[in-house]
């Protein structure tokens, strides 16, 4: 039996469900995440899209793609953010805050070159993205 976790938007009109285990978890420090999340970092959990389902309020899900790399999904009733699909990686970023019962175990910090909030937690700090996701694969100092 695969583990299932449920989450919702800010108002609860949209509900989602994730199944199994995420492909990766960590923090993104990029300017886009900051602007979109209105927070200094974004805690992400990356999932194969087939493991993420909208279980309620699908008609209320709005989408916005400023670039082809990120299809951002939110609730059109409350404006609460749900997740972002990354077509180049074929992975869905479900924000850790959207699925509170999933135990968040960060493994990496990405786009740390852009950080405004240094986090000295001993985890690897990537300049941009790991090489296997099309980044430079370079690490930077905490």
Residues that bind Zn ion (CB under 5 A): 9, 11, 13, 28, 30, 33, 75, 77-78, 80
The smaller minimum CB distance to Zn ion, of residues 20 and 104, is found at 104
Q: How far is the CB of 6 from Zn ion (least distance, A)?
A: 14
The smaller minimum CB distance to Zn ion, of residues 19 and 77, is found at 77
Is residue 138 within 8 A of residue 56, CB to CB? The reply is: no
Residue 75 and residue 92: Cα distance in Å, rounded?
16
What backbone phi and psi angles, to 5 degrees, belong to 131?
-60, -35
Q: Which residue in this structure is represented by tokens 């910090």?
A: 109
Q: How far is the CB of 9 from Zn ion (least distance, A)?
A: 3
The tokens of 53 are what?
Answer: 């389902």
The smaller minimum CB distance to Zn ion, of residues 33 and 52, is found at 33
Give the residue from 112, 90, 110 showing the smallest Cα distance to 46: 90
Q: How far is the CB of 19 from Zn ion (least distance, A)?
A: 22
The smaller minimum CB distance to Zn ion, of residues 3 and 121, is found at 121
50 Cβ contact partners less than 8 Å away, ≥ 6 residues apart:
none
Q: How far is the CB of 64 from Zn ion (least distance, A)?
A: 15
The helices-and-strands tally (H runs, E runs) of the chain is 1, 10
């Amino acid at each position: 039996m695969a583990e299932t976790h449920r989450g919702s938007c800010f108002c609860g009109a949209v509900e989602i469900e994730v199944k199994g285990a995420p492909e990766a978890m960590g923090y993104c420090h990029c300017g886009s995440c900051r602007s979109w999340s209105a927070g200094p970092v974004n805690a992400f959990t990356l999932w194969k899209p087939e493991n993420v389902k909208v279980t309620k309020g699908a008609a209320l899900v709005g989408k916005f793609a400023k670039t082809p790399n990120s299809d951002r999904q939110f609730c059109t009733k409350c404006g609460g953010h749900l997740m972002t699909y990354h077509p180049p990686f074929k992975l869905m970023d479900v924000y850790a805050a959207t699925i509170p019962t999933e135990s968040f175990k960060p493994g990496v910090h990405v786009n740390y070159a852009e950080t405004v909030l240094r986090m000295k937690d001993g985890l690897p700090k990537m300049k941009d993205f790991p090489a296997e996701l099309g980044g430079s694969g370079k690490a930077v100092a905490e």
